[in-house]
Structure 1
Amino acid sequence: MAQTADLAQQRAPAPGGQPPAPSTPPAGHPPALPNYPRARIPTKPVLSRASFRRAAGHTPSILDTREARLVTSGRVAIALALRQMGVGPGDRVLVPSYHCASMIEPVVWLGATPVFYRIHADTQVNLEDVAAKLAGAKVLLATNYFGFPQNLTALRAFCDQHGLMLLEDCAHCFLGEHNGQPVGSFGDYAIASTMKFFPIYEGGCLVSARHSLAPVRLEAGGFKFEAKMAVNALEDGFEYQRLRTVQRLLALPLGLKNFLLGQLKRRSHGAPAAMAPRSSEGGFGFDPAWLHKRGSLFSRMMLRLVSRSRMGALRRRHYQRLQDALAGLPGCRPLHAALPERVYPWVFPLYVDLPETVFASLKNDGVPIVRFAEYLWQGVDATVCSASVDLSRHVLQFPCHQELQEQELDWMIDKIKAALLAARAP
């Protein structure tokens, strides 16, 4: 029974910082997925005219900390944070058993050993289990799941007591506060995934309220990268019937772009050289080629132009509509019984008794579903953390982002209700 699920079989980076070519698919990566139809409503925010509407007031966010670096993804930010903490070969990093593989990849790439700790059924860190696994540990990575902060005051005190550095994972929690302080301000470093909250194609950030980020130097990604990030964000909006006038105006140049890319792919006998990080394309892997690339100009502009107050208010409103509509239905329960003040969710997590039946039904209907932690890292099973395994199997997440339209939210709620009832039918 491997309590820590130490991954001794994972290899350290090769000289020069490049990971070795694996002989088998890396642990934690999913098998081939069924060919489900495209989601009929956007899983994440897409660009529209409404994206630029303002809302009154100030909504706290991770960017309220002292210093920030805008990068291309949350996993890149994790790698940069660990480097700033001096993590390298032979070090041990405490990571949650409830995780996405992309959270663990940077740890392994640096040659460190991920040591998996338990969480409680409500996703809070099990500090008793962490305390039992402190030997040789350098960093505690703690995740604010689905936009609901951990007890960050307690985590900070625990880390100070035991000489640990705290990496606050706000990939799900760009907005919000705990005990009057913005998320991201409790860790030695904190990271976020801005593309989960803004209508952009790539984006993450590294922040620190305690340390200078002057050593983190970033460079531009180049013209092709900049162009692709702007065009892809526009095309995501077009796909869901936003910005129709802009789409008509750009029809000819975008058609030419698609033609030229098709020609390039045929001539290269496969995919052309990557112009975007794999995180934007839906992969789990960590690509060190993007480690020192600055987030695109388009994404950085959106972080300035998009109203965080509007984002926060609508996310809370949409979350509450889902909570009210689905609470009390047979075969499911909201993971959280209530939405606390100053919490701004990433998604709406729903615990489902018959998840596979409901999931397949909804995916076939084109309902957007996120299954965070569906594939846990190799060796992480119920002997490591039964709560993590249970959550990974039973919790389905539905979008509540600010760019959902009322009719889209109504349609999704109706589909979820129908799938839940059908799953329990004799």
Structure 2
Amino acid sequence: MDWSSFARASAPGIHSIENLSNTLFTTSGRAAIYQALLLLNRPAGSTVLVPTYHCPTMVAPVLLANLKPAYFAIDADGLPLLDSIDATTIARSSAIIAAHYFGLPRSFAKLRQWCDQHGIALIEDCAHCYFGDAGERPVGAWGDYATASLSKFFPVPEAGLVASAHRSIERPALTSPALKAQVKGWIDVLEYATTYKRLAGLNRGLALLFGLKNARTPMPSVTASNKPSGPDEDDMMRDCDMGRIQQRPLWAAMTLKSILPRGRVILQRQKNYGVYARLLAHAKGARPLFSMPSASVAPYVFPLWVDDADRVYHALKAQSLPVFRWDRIWPGTPSHPADAGPLWSRHVLQLLCHQDLSEADTVRIANATLDLLIEPDQAALPPPSLHRPL
């Protein structure tokens, strides 16, 4: 958060998932998926379909809700490859979680029709898409329930959202965080902003206060682990941090959510996406996964296919640049010959489009990527069909 977070800019006519008829705020996007699954009230042990290209926090709520994940392939547009789901799996499935990837939403018309045909509930994962239109409908309006993550778009300490355009949302018995946690939420927002010198005029004084606070906090001890290096299900579940899914979000999150303007978030993300698109359009050994999005979306990241992705990704991370890769796939996720998911997990780098990255920041990130791509390629070119216009 900085002072510009409160600046107003006009981005008329762009839908927000928050505008859907029925909403419930949670502590996180993963908590929102968990609550959506509970709202569906499916029998214990029934199957929930999940894409092979996923963040682990998409799978953990399914297991915590005492349901079983089964996996479906995605096509080169990131849409469910429905032919990859066999009849037996369809028969035992009660819900499907389908995501709009990268903040670039797609029409779910075909998926919605398929769900209605088979009596399967649709949870529309909008963690990357707080704003925009998904083809013929606004984001979130295709699903029986939609879920979102506020902390990916606003400077809040936490918060997620369950929403529906079609179904009422019965209020669960969520507990309120203790007063100490509420105060800490506000302190965390200010401390994080101060660490990155975002609050001009207050940085110095707040830094002194936080320095005194942290000087009295003992550093956590580090112990060696004898566990194997490969992730297992327990590791994944622990890393997903599902501990506060039955609580209401902090006052700090809800207050900031209510008062922060939206227009600048949308416009600056579009601008940053455009910078990446311009500078990386003809990169050697890499290509934008999609062409420029429409003006009705607010991109989360710029997805870049990189041939020699392992080398480039780790080098960018070593420079502390804001790049991500969904390479932690839940153990036991199967493969399918037509599935783009495994290829994306390795080759697609997600360059952040956050509104508090300036044009200079995005130029630096793009140029650092280009510098690395000058080195000799070590991977084969992807199939041409993986590049799709949005």
TM-score interval w.r.t. the shorter chain?
Answer: 0.7 to 0.9
Could you tell me which residue of structure 1 aligns to residue 363 of structure 2?
410
Structure-2 residue corresponding to 1:20: none
* Residue deviations 1:102-130 (CA, integer Å, cap 9, x gap): 11011112221101011002211112224
Shift of 1:63: 0.3
Aligned AA (1:297): W
Q: 1:284 to 1:382 in 2, by over 3 A?
A: same
Query: Are 1:232 and 2:185 an aligned pair?
Result: no
Equivalence for 2:74: 119
Aligned-pair CA distance for 1:381: 4.4
What is the match of residue 320 of structure 1? Answer: 274
The answer (yes or no) to whether the contact 1:105–1:285 under 8 Å persists in 2 is: no
- Is the CA contact 1:53–1:307 (under 8 Å) kept in the aligned structure 2? yes
Partner of 2:381: none
**Residue 73 (1) aligns with residue 28 (2):** yes
Q: CA–CA distance in 2 between the matches of 1:81 and 1:283?
A: 19
The 1:385/1:113 distance shift into structure 2, 3 A limit, reads: farther
Q: Cα–Cα, structure 1 residues 243 and 367, in superposed 2: closer, same or farther, change >3 Å?
A: same
**Aligned-pair distance for 1:49?**
0.7
| Equivalent position SS for 1:261 | coil
Structure 1 counterpart of 2:26, one-letter code: V
What does the per-residue CA deviation read over 1:380-409, in whole Å, with 9 as the maximum and x for residues that have no partner?
243476411111000011111111122222
Contact residue 62 and residue 184 of structure 1 kept, 8 A: yes
**1:178 CA drift (Å):** 2.3
Alpha-carbon distance in 1 for matches of 2:68, 2:237: 22
The answer as to 2:89 corresponding to 1:103 is: no
Residue type of the alignment partner of 1:416: T
| 2:155 is the alignment partner of 1:202 | no
SS in structure 2 of the partner of residue 250 of structure 1: helix
The one-letter amino acid paired with 1:89 is A
Sequence identity (%): 35
State which of 332, 355, 363 in structure 2 corresponds to 1:379. 332
Structure 1 portions without partners, runs of 5+: 1-46, 270-281
Residue 309 of structure 2, aligned match among 320, 340, 355: 355
Show CA shifts across 1:353-393 (max 9, x none).
00111112212222221112x01111224347641111100
Which residue of 1 is the match for residue 352 of structure 2? 399
Residue 311 of structure 1 corresponds to which residue in structure 2? Answer: 265
Which residue, out of 32, 49, 60, partners 2:15? 60
CA deviation profile, 1:17-51 (whole Å, cap 9, x unmatched)? xxxxxxxxxxxxxxxxxxxxxxxxxxxxxx11111
Contact 2:107 2:136 in 1 (8 A): no
Q: Post-superposition shift, 1:193?
A: 0.9
Q: Secondary structure at the match of 2:279?
A: helix
- Is the Cα contact below 8 Å between 1:218 and 1:294 reproduced in 2? yes
**SS of match in other structure, 2:146:** strand
Offset, 1:238: 2.3
Deviations 1:72-112 (A, max 9, x none): 11111111110110134220001111111111011112221
Aligned to 1:248: 204
Is the Cα–Cα contact under 8 Å of residues 194 and 207 in structure 2 kept in the other structure?
no
How far residue 213 of structure 1 moved from its aligned partner, in angstroms, is 1.7
> Aligned partners of 1:418, 1:234: CA distance in 2, in Å?
35
Alpha-carbon distance in 2 for matches of 1:258, 1:299: 23
Aligned mates of 1:130, 1:216 — CA distance in 2: 33
Deviates more, 1:286-295 or 1:330-339: 286-295
Matches within 5 A, 1:18-417: 47-56=1-10, 57-130=12-85, 132=87, 133-262=89-218, 285-372=239-326, 374-383=327-336, 386-417=339-370
How many matched pairs? 363
Distance in 2 between the 1:137 and 1:335 partners? 31
Quote the Cα distance in structure 2 between the aligned partners of 1:130 and 1:231.
Answer: 47
The answer to whether the Cα contact below 8 Å between 1:146 and 1:345 also exists between their aligned partners in 2 is yes
CA distance in 2, matches of 1:60, 1:352: 32
TM-score when normalising by structure 2: 0.87
Instruction: Please state whether the residue corresponding to 2:50 is helix, strand or coil.
Output: strand
Paired with 1:108 and 1:381, the residues of 2 have a C-alpha distance of 17
Q: Secondary structure at the match of 1:419?
A: helix
Q: Which whole-Å CA distance do the structure 1 matches of 2:58 and 2:359 have between them?
A: 33
Greater alpha carbon shift after TM alignment, 309-318 vs 336-345: 336-345
> Would the aligned equivalents of 1:184 and 1:208 in 2 still touch at CA under 8 Å?
yes
* Residues 364/287 of structure 1: CA separation in 2 closer, same or farther (3 Å cut): closer
SS at match of 1:307: coil
> Could you tell me how far 1:227 is from its partner in structure 2?
2.3
Structure 2 counterpart of 1:74, one-letter code: G
Where does residue 227 of structure 2 map in the other structure?
none
Q: CA distance change for structure 1 residues 289 and 378 in 2, over 3 Å: closer, same or farther?
A: closer
- Farther-moved stretch of structure 1 (380-389 vs 174-183): 380-389
Take 2:247 and 2:70, find their aligned partners in 1: how far apart are those partners?
A: 29
Kindly indicate whether the alpha-carbon contact (under 8 Å) linking 2:307 and 2:377 is maintained by their aligned counterparts in 1: no
